[in-house]
A = this chain, B = another copy of it.
Amino acid sequence: MVYRRTHQVVKRLAARRSAILAAARDAANEGGMAAVQIAPVAVRANVAAGTVYRYFPSKADLISELIADVSRDELAAIRRAADAAPGPSSALAAAVTTVAVHVVSHRKLAWGILAEPVDVDVNATRLASRREIAGEIETRINAAVRAGHLPAQDTALAATALLGALHESLVGPLAPDNLDDPAKLRDAVQTATLLALRAVGVMDARARGLVVQAALPAKMLANAQPG
């Protein structure tokens, strides 16, 4: 009389888990991390509040996993874009553009993951996520420096500052508020990218060229969500 999970059950359990995570992601994307509350998320996932706890030991774990998920996706996108570029400078430009597009495409979510305060328990995850992204950017800056395209500098600080500039100008409270218009959005992404590249020492003229080259297909911008 041993109970053994049927394949079908295993699938359903996995699906529920995903549904809960997806619900959390949606909630975060609509109202920031503050909106990721157990009861509402449960409703969204068509599940009772208690059920959430059968999949995640605590809210902190849920959010941690959400953050890890999102940054895994983001990191992959950055690497893909950068690796496809012809040289170190283009790679950096592509990486930066990718980050810019991602944050404007999911502003609330990005804000929640980046800046919104949460339990100390999730800070570790968030920090790790940030480190990964910053580390990737730093790697690309380093490559450009080694190639002689950028002046020698504290690349860790530079990567951090670069991300700060992007985030603040694109999803911060002072970010332009008319980003629903695709044209404006594209402008904002390009302007922010230009600023970021100049910050690490790319000369103005060259930076403008790189930004244009790195311009992403409209398809990617089309994913942007109003809000």
Q: Which residues of A contact B (CB under 8 A)?
A: 32, 34, 115-117, 123, 126-127, 130-131, 134, 151, 153-154, 156-158, 160-169, 172-176, 188, 191-192, 195-196, 198-201, 203-204
Minimum CB distance partner of A194 in chain B: B153
Contact of A200 among B123, B192, B195 (CB under 8 A): B195
Q: Is the interface of A mostly helix, strand, loop or mixed?
A: helix
B127 contacts A173, C-beta separation under 8 Å? yes
User: A173 to B116, Cβ gap below 8 A?
Assistant: no
With A167-B168, A195-B199, A199-B195 already in contact, the answer to whether A174 and B117 are too (CB < 8 A) is no
* Complex CA–CA separation, A117 to B34 (angstroms): 9
Task: Note all chain B residues with C-beta closer than 8 A to A196.
Answer: 161, 199
A219 to B88, CA, bound (A): 42
- A151 cross-chain contacts in B, Cβ below 8 A: 204
A153 to B192, CA, bound (A): 11
Alpha-carbon distance A203/B116, docked complex (angstroms): 34
- Give the chain B neighbours of A175 by CB distance below 8 A: 160
Residues in chain B near residue A203, CB distance under 8 A: 203
Distance A154 CA – B170 CA, assembled complex (angstroms): 13
A153 touching B191, Cβ below 8 Å: yes
Contact among B134, B153, B167, B174 with A130 in the assembled complex (CB-CB below 8 Å)? B174
* Residue numbers in B under 8 Å from A162 (CB-CB): 165, 195
